[in-house]
Every structure is written in structure tokens, then in C-alpha cells.
Structure 1
Amino acid sequence: MKFDTAYSLTLDEKLSIYDVRELNFDETADFDSDREPFLCPNDACRAAFDGGNVLSTFNAKNVNYLRTPHFKNKPGTRHIKGCRYASDHKTATGESDDEREDNFPSEFVLTRRQYLRKSPAISADASPSPEPASVAENRTQTSHHNNDTAPDKTSVFAHPVECYVSNIDDKDKLKAMPLKIGEHTATYWAFFKKIEYLQDNKGLIYWGRIKAIKDYISSFRIDFEKKVWFDKKPYSVNVYLSKKLIDSYRKRTAFLEQIKAAAGSQRPLYCFFYGVTPELKQVPSKQNPEQTFGVFSANIENLDHLIIREAPGIE
């Protein structure tokens, strides 16, 4: 059975699988999900067992993934009777282990979440040392969340993007699920805008199929396939990623691995981004610098709010 949220024993918090991915790739964080003990998010169930009753993860450390990341039970993971996270519980509830993300956050928070470690990391496969009294107490009477469901807010851009991509065949759901970003509230369907329609509204999540990624060694430009029509003329669209932006990124190694692989890939890839709206600019021609041509372009300001990935069935 797959689920989106688990309790982190060392952080003393409930984390989404997207939080875990964020920490895995963060070069400023001492975190490895293979060594971190994750327990059932159900408070009552967690209180019934010791800290060795752990879960495992799926796609927590894969930079590029197709199947939705999630937590899952190990063969020996135990649950109390009636716990919705028991492996056999999906049969009774009709849940399935498919590739769809069902935990829709209602708000995408633009300020990055801070994670504070409460106890030393231990191997998930090792016998845990006795828990400090404060951690044990919090594990059974946690105040971080009042229930075992996924948080209704997220600061990890991959979470709402996965909700949109994995549910693209269910437009009614996407049109029904609300999403708030900053002061703007709309449905998932309205918030995600194809790149060729970027003039319709500002402040949305724009996306499109990638035509090419220009690798300038220390910086990159992402060109989109579709063009924007303006004044009855088509204009190319691109976004630029500067050297300064990349060098200062705390997930620089993982990002460079991903974008360099994408630049050489023959598979259809898509770029999703938030925070900037490409605008019409006049760019000097390489052949004749005195001449210019128009292009819709934007400098990405926050790599946390940009994703390159496959998105089967999105078009």
C-alpha cells in the first residue's frame, strides 16, 4: 500500500514523501532517507509499537521518476486493527496502489519549510537505541498534526505538479480541487497554464513541452516547442537559468544531473515553473548584432519553483 505521509522519528514531525525528497537532495542537510526511521502517520497506531516498526520509501532518491513517490509498508511492518495504512486495508477501502497522487495540497507555500532534527539519525534497518523521553512522548501525542492525513499545505513544488500530471486524465477532479498560491486561489485546472497561453493571466504555473535545452556550460536556456501568438505573429518562448542561480542552489548537484541528462535526452520532456511570466523582449541576432528579433523570455528566479520531467498523457 502506498501513502504520502509518514512520521519521522529523528525530526519528530510528519513529512510528506516530497519533503523527504527535498531533504535527500539538499546539500546543506545531513539527511539520507535510507538511514532515517519512518513510522506510521496514524498517531494511535504509532503509539502501539516501538521505534523499530518502520516503513520504507519508493522513489525518494530517484532524481527523475515516472511513478509517484510514496511511503510503503515493509514486509514486517505492523499496524493496529483498523489502521488505514495496513497493507490489507486497501481491499476494504477500495484504495489501489496505482500511479496517481491523491493527496492534493490546498496551498502551495512560497516560503521553504524548515526542518529541525530532534535526535541523531539511525539506520532504518538497525535496532533503534532507546528513545529520549521527550521524543517518545511526542511520538504518541504529537501536536504537529491533529490527524494522520497528508498536510494540506506544501512548500515543495513537485507535490502540486505531481497531482496535476498524474491526474491529467481526470479533468473533473482537477477542476474541483482548490489550490492557493500567495493571494491567488483557483482550481488545479485553472492554475496550470500551457505556455502558449501565458498571456491569458499572470501568476500561474506555466508548462510546456521542451524543444531544446541549450547548455552554456555554466548556465542553461530552456526553449519550448509551442509559440506564443502576439499581434498576429508567432514568438518563441524560453526561460534562462543563470550561473549565479545554479551555483547558489542548495540542490545544485541533483539539479545539474537532471538538466544535463535532459539536455541529451530524446524522450519528450516538459518544464513546469512558477514565479515569473515570460515577456516579449528584443534579442540581438547572432548573424547580425545590429538587428533584433522578438522572443518571450524570462530569467528564472527560484530553482525550487522549476521542474523538468516526463509527463505521459499530458497532451
Structure 2
Amino acid sequence: MKFDTAYSLSLDDKLSIYDVRDLNFDETAAYDSDKDSFLCPNDTCRAAFETGNALSTFNAKNVNYLRTPHFKNKTTTRHIDGCRYASTHKTATGENDDEREENFPSEFVLTRRTYERKTPATGTEGQVPQGPAKTPLNRTDSSVSSSDTTPDKTSVFAHPVECYVSNIDDKDKLKAMPLKIGDHTATYWAFFKKIEYLQDNKGLIYWGKIKEIKDYTSSFRIDFEKKVWLDKKPYSVNVYLSKKLIENYRKRQAFLEQIKAAVDSERPLYCFFYGVTPELKQVPSKKNPEQTFGVFSANIENLDHLIIRETPGVE
């Protein structure tokens, strides 16, 4: 059985698997999921066992992944009767059901969640106490931590993107699932807009197949395959990632590893981003600087809101 949320022993709070991935790559946080212990998010169930009754993670540390990351039970993990996280079937690896993300957050919070490492109190015999949870971690979003269910909110862009990508063949589900970003509420289907239709509405999550990634050593430009048509003319679309943006990014090393691999990749890759809408600009021609040509372009403002990844099943 796979699930999205677990209790982190080292952080003394419930985290989604996307929170864990975010922390693993964050160079400003001294965190390694391999050194943490993840326990059942059900408070009553967790309190019934010692802290060694842990879960495992799938795709928590891979910079690139093709299959949905999640927590899962180990063969030795036990749950109390009636716990919703008890495995309903026995599998050796638990990887037969990890192709779709079923835990859709209803809100993407634009302010990043922050974490404060704490030493959790323990009861007798190394058990986590069954009493009320302590004051939750310092955070800037209001994601749910008191419940054992998957939080309705997330500040990790990869979570709503994975929901969309892994269910891209189920239009009815995407049209039924609500998503709020800022003051705008729509369905997942409406919020994700193909790059060639970016003129339809601003403030959406734009995405498209990458034609080429220009590596300028300290900066990058992502060119999309599809063009935007305006006044019966096709215009190229790109987004620019500046040197300053990359140098100041808290996950700089992981990002550079990912994008440099993408530059040389021969596999079809897609880019998803939020926060900017490419606008028509006049760019000087390299051959003749006195001449200009039109291109839809935007400077990415937040790398937390940009993802480059494979998208199985989109073709």
C-alpha cells in the first residue's frame, strides 16, 4: 500500500512525500531522509508501537523520477486493527500501485513551508506518546498536521504537477478535482494550460514539450516545441533562467544536476512552470542586430515553481 503522508520522527510532524523530497535537496536544511524514521500518520496507531515500526520511502531522493513518489509499508510494518494505512494485500515491494497520484491537494500555497528540527518526546519503552501533539513546526503555510489524512494544501509544486501528469489520461477526474492558487480557483484540467494556448488566460500553470535547452554556462533558456499563433503568425516560446536566480536557489546543486542532464537527454522532456506568463517581445537578430523578431518569452522568477520532467502517456 502506498500513501502520501507520514510522521517524521526527527521533525516531529507529519510530512508529505513531496515535503521530504524538497528537504532532501534543500542546501539550507541539514536533512537526510535516510537518517530519519517515518511512522504511521495515524496518531493512535503510531502510539501503539515502538518507533522502530517504521515505513519506507519510494523515490524520496531521486532528482529525476518516472513513477509517483510515496511512503509505503515495509514487510515488517504493523498497524492496529482498523488503521486505514494497513496493507490490504501483500506484495514484496509494494510497487504495483505507484503509477498514479491519488492524493490531490486542493490548494497550492505559493509561500514555501519552512521546517524546524525538534527532538520529539518519547514515552516509556521508546514509544511516541499518545497525548496531544506539541506545537506544530514553524511554517508559513497552514497545511494540515493534526489529521492523519493527506493535507489539503501543499507548497511543493511537484505535488500538483504529479497529480496532473499521472492522471493525464483521466480527463473526467482532472475536471472534477478542484485546485486553488492564490485567489484563483479552478479544476486541475483548467489550471494546467498547454504552452501553445498561453494567450487564453494568465496566471495558470503552463507546460509543454521542450525543443531545446540552451546552456549558457551560468544561465539557461528553455525553448518549447510548440509555437503560439498570433495574427495568423507563429511565434516561438521560451523561458529564461538567469545566473542570479540559479546562484541564489536553495536547491542549486540538484537543479544544475537535473538541467544539465536534460540538456544532453535524447528522451522527450516537458517543462511546467507557474508565476509568469510569456509575453510577446521583440528580440534583436544575431545576424543583423538592427533587425528584430518576435518571440513569446518570460524570465522565470522562482525555481521552486518550475519543473523539467518526463511525462509518460502525454503523447
Same fold (TM over 0.5): yes
What is the SS of the residue equivalent to 1:99? coil
Structure 1 residues 223 and 73: alpha-carbon distance in aligned structure 2, compared to 1, 3 A threshold: same
> Once the two structures are superposed, what CA deviation does each residue of 1:166-185 show, in whole Å capped at 9, x if it has no partner?
00111100000000000000
2:122 corresponds to: 131
What is the SS of the residue equivalent to 1:263? helix
Question: In 1, are the aligned partners of 2:47 and 2:129 still within 8 Å (CA)?
Answer: no
Question: In 2, are the aligned partners of 1:82 and 1:89 still within 8 Å (CA)?
Answer: no
1:198 corresponds to: 198
**Pair 1:296 & 2:292 matched:** no
> Once the two structures are superposed, what CA deviation does each residue of 1:99-155 show, in whole Å capped at 9, x if it has no partner?
1000000000000001111128xxxxxxxxx8379x976665337634311100000
What is the SS of the residue equivalent to 2:254? helix
Shift of 1:84: 1.6
What is the SS of the residue equivalent to 2:200? coil
What is the SS of the residue equivalent to 2:35? coil
Shift of 1:251: 0.2
- Find the aligned partners of 1:131 and 1:259 in 2 and give their Cα distance: 43
Amino acid at match of 2:283: V
**Pair 1:59 & 2:50 matched:** no
Shift of 1:89: 5.9
Shift of 1:81: 1.2
2:152 corresponds to: 152
- Find the aligned partners of 1:136 and 1:188 in 2 and give their Cα distance: 41
Shift of 1:78: 1.0
Shift of 1:50: 1.5
Count matched residues. 302
Shift of 1:20: 0.1
> Once the two structures are superposed, what CA deviation does each residue of 1:247-268 show, in whole Å capped at 9, x if it has no partner?
0001000000000000000000
What is the SS of the residue equivalent to 1:199? helix
Structure 1 unaligned runs (5+)? 121-129
Question: In 2, are the aligned partners of 1:3 and 1:72 still within 8 Å (CA)?
Answer: yes
2:101 corresponds to: 101
Runs of 4+ that moved beyond 4 A:
135-140
What is the SS of the residue equivalent to 2:165? helix
Amino acid at match of 1:161: V
- Find the aligned partners of 1:139 and 1:271 in 2 and give their Cα distance: 44
**Pair 1:178 & 2:178 matched:** yes
What is the SS of the residue equivalent to 1:234? strand
**RMSD of Structure 2 on Structure 1 (CA):** 2.0
What is the SS of the residue equivalent to 1:7? strand
Question: In 2, are the aligned partners of 1:192 and 1:206 still within 8 Å (CA)?
Answer: yes
Structure 1 residues 32 and 119: alpha-carbon distance in aligned structure 2, compared to 1, 3 A threshold: same
Amino acid at match of 1:28: T
Question: In 2, are the aligned partners of 1:213 and 1:263 still within 8 Å (CA)?
Answer: yes
> Once the two structures are superposed, what CA deviation does each residue of 1:268-307 show, in whole Å capped at 9, x if it has no partner?
0000000000000000000011100000000000000000
**Pair 1:142 & 2:133 matched:** yes
- Find the aligned partners of 2:146 and 2:313 in 1 and give their Cα distance: 37
2:306 corresponds to: 306
1:50 corresponds to: 50
Q: Which stretch has the larger CA shift, 223-232 or 49-58?
A: 49-58
Question: In 1, are the aligned partners of 2:44 and 2:130 still within 8 Å (CA)?
Answer: no
Amino acid at match of 2:175: K
Question: In 2, are the aligned partners of 1:43 and 1:140 still within 8 Å (CA)?
Answer: no
1:126 corresponds to: none
- Find the aligned partners of 2:58 and 2:157 in 1 and give their Cα distance: 18
1:23 corresponds to: 23
Question: In 2, are the aligned partners of 1:227 and 1:235 still within 8 Å (CA)?
Answer: yes
Percent identical residues = 82
Structure 2 unaligned runs (5+)? 137-144
- Find the aligned partners of 2:71 and 2:128 in 1 and give their Cα distance: 23
TM-score, structure 1 as length reference:
0.92
- Find the aligned partners of 1:131 and 1:227 in 2 and give their Cα distance: 58
